[in-house]
Amino acid sequence: MIGFRIAELQRRVAAHWVEKFLAIPVANISDVMARMSAGGAALRPMHAGGALAGPAFTVKTRPGDNLMVHKAIAMAQPGDVIVVDAGGDLTNAIIGEIMTSTAKRRGIAGFVINGAIRDLGTISKDSFPVYAAGVTHRGPYKDGPGEINAPVSLGGMVVAPGDLVLGDEDGLLSIPYAEVEAVHAAAQAKNELEARMLADIANSVLDTAWIDQALARLQCEFVK
């Protein structure tokens, strides 16, 4: 049935790429992706801290309903990130302590919920990664419909099943499966550049000539 179906995940970003990206801030990765992709400022880390990385196991569900999320937890493999598009609605929580505990026990890498969660008191004290748009005590329904392993959209960022999902304190980013290697090479170079800049700042030798060069190129007027 269209809108109510489950598919197996056909491809996953390899585990060695997941490990490599964990060492690079999301902001630096975003910079080399032309700053054009983001999960939206509403999706914030709800856990105690720590980065998120893993292949996307996607769920699209009716707002306020988590039947397909329960099924996704049972289907996903260790290391997967369960990415749920619940329409951004905050009326009913999609997951809480029971589901996060189950997912953690199964080796799931974390949750991204474009919707609400509950049991924040417990989730916020744990390092298990949970990103969500809000919090409510109101529980979910379990009637469907929904889809598992179909493309979803988070704040305009399209996430296909098996894409690499990353998250840290600055927010969420998804890298298309076919672009992971190229993005890593560029992001690693960006990370090394920023490390050199920070060292120059510490030694008071940072070159800022580019600022006046940019102002001249843009024909900024200086008034005395």
- Binding-site residues for substrate sit at 96-99, 118
Helix segments in 92-144, DSSP class H = 97-105, 120-123
Beta strands of 49-181 (E only): which ranges? 52-61, 81-85, 93-95, 110-117, 130-135, 146-148, 152-154, 157-159, 164-168, 171-175
CA 201 to centroid of chain Cα atoms: 31
Q: Which residues pair with 147 in a beta bridge?
A: 5, 60
What is the torsion angle, in degrees rounded to the nearest 10, for the CA atoms of residue 141, residue 143, residue 145 and residue 149? Answer: 80
d(CA 114, CA 43): 7
Structural contact between residues 80 and 54, judged by C-beta atoms closer than 8 angstroms: yes
User: At 206, which amino acid appears?
Assistant: L
d(CA 209, CA 224): 21
Question: What is the chain's length?
Answer: 224
- The binding site comprises 96-99, 118-119
- The binding site for Mg(2+) comprises 119
